[in-house]
Amino acid sequence: MPALSPQLVESVALAAGFSAAGIAAVPEPGSPEDLEERARFNAWIDAGHAGAMDYLKRRDPSGSLVRSSLRVALPWARSVIVCAANYNSAAPRSTEPAAPDAGWIARYAWSSRGDRPSDYHKVLLRRLESMRDRLTAHTGPFESRCFVDTGPVVERVYARYAGIGWTGKNTCILNERLGSWLFLGVIVTALEAAAAVASLAPDRCGSCTRCIDACPTHALTGDRQMDATLCISYLTIENRGPIPEELRPLVGRQVFGCDICQDVCPWNRRAPIAADPELAPRSALVNPALGWLAALDEPAWERWFNGSPVRRAKFSGFRRSLAIAMGNSQQRKFLPTLRAWAGDPDPVLAESARWAAQQLEDGDTNSANG
């Protein structure tokens, strides 16, 4: 079976619409070539940093974490092709001043094609599958699986070894030319990688600590890992229950996800704007008015976000985070909505709305006293 060369992988990936690509070998766990990240991942799970993301904690019958190595998840895996798609846009950063009644939806969820939302999972998967077809023409058929986000793979680990970029102190993969507004997708293959796989990208964080200093909830641990249970992205997307009360004021007006630790990164200042027709930003989602989002009933919300990553939070989780954002807005005009939601049959929404209304009422008392 022929080996895959980095040059072939890169040319096929660029033709398929990716911005960068590389290939990494998949070493056997416990071998001299094993990756240092395997131990890091085990320690991260053991420390409880994955919170309620149980899919990250799955184990095989021998007790090994399925994601600790691709050889555990897919024993036939010998190499992994990692592709990156730029989704940077010219729209403002979450760290720039905005209207006090505007919220924030993370940049990765803005994507659209024409007037319809587009889900990066589907866009990248299609590109990976077309790439695989082209590679097969060079190599003959080979066993493989394509994944975007949802496979049993810690994609950033293999992205680093495929030479896509370095692991920033914000834990994101950063490419010197492209920055970190990159979606990742992988093709796991049974083919050996050519002997000369990509060399690691040099670490360009230096003495910078902007992301660590800017993170409102202190989720970044400083050793290129995070406690996800503190991360606003986890709290507003993955977490199904209430947002812990002590963290609510720190969430600010963020309704879905968080971009702060990437918005402050100097490497993103010079990152090129993507001209990808399948990942174009929807202007209505950039600094969206909280009142508009709150007025969407479930069918309207479904219409707006059908096919968008925002659906992951579900309507209930989205409104819970929206209530917290309105409570942090100092905008008394949201009191009627919050008082109505305080009687909602969903106990998480009702309690979040009561807390939020209280913030606005307390804010009034404080300014009257001040």
Q: Under the rule (CB under 6 A), what is the footprint of ligand SF4?
A: 168-170, 174, 205, 208-211, 215, 217, 219-220, 226, 231-233, 258, 260-261, 264-267
CB 113 within 8 A of CB 2: no
Partner interacting with residue 209 (select from ligand SF4, ligand B12, none; CB below 5-8 Å by kind): ligand SF4
CB 185 within 8 A of CB 146: yes
Partner interacting with residue 352 (select from ligand B12, ligand SF4, none; CB below 5-8 Å by kind): none
Kindly report the number of other CB atoms within 10 A of residue 207's CB atom.
4
Joined tokens for residue 25: 């070998």
Partner interacting with residue 318 (select from ligand SF4, ligand B12, none; CB below 5-8 Å by kind): none
CA–CA gap between residue 128 and residue 207 (Å, rounded): 36
- Which backbone phi and psi does 309 adopt, to 5 degrees? -60, -20
The DSSP line for 281-298 is EPGGGSS-BHHHHHH--H
> Residue 167 belongs to what H/E stretch?
strand 166-167
If the CB atoms of residues 134 and 210 are measured against ligand SF4, the closer one turns out to be 210
If the CB atoms of residues 123 and 342 are measured against ligand B12, the closer one turns out to be 123
If the CB atoms of residues 6 and 257 are measured against ligand SF4, the closer one turns out to be 257
What is the nearest approach in angstroms of ligand B12 to the Cβ of residue 94?
Answer: 9
Which residues contact ligand B12 (rule: CB under 6 A)? 37, 40-41, 44, 53, 56, 106, 108, 148-149, 153-157, 167, 170-173, 180, 182-184, 224-226, 228, 231, 233-234, 237-238, 257-259, 261
What is the nearest approach in angstroms of ligand SF4 to the Cβ of residue 295?
Answer: 27
Q: Shortest Cβ contact with ligand SF4: which residue?
A: 168
CB 265 within 8 A of CB 173: no
Joined tokens for residue 301: 């919300």
Q: Which of 46, 133, 149, 276 is catalytic?
A: 149
> Residue 174 belongs to what H/E stretch?
strand 173-174
If the CB atoms of residues 144 and 287 are measured against ligand SF4, the closer one turns out to be 287
CA–CA gap between residue 141 and residue 359 (Å, rounded): 61
Q: Is 276 an active-site residue?
A: no
Residues labelled catalytic: 149
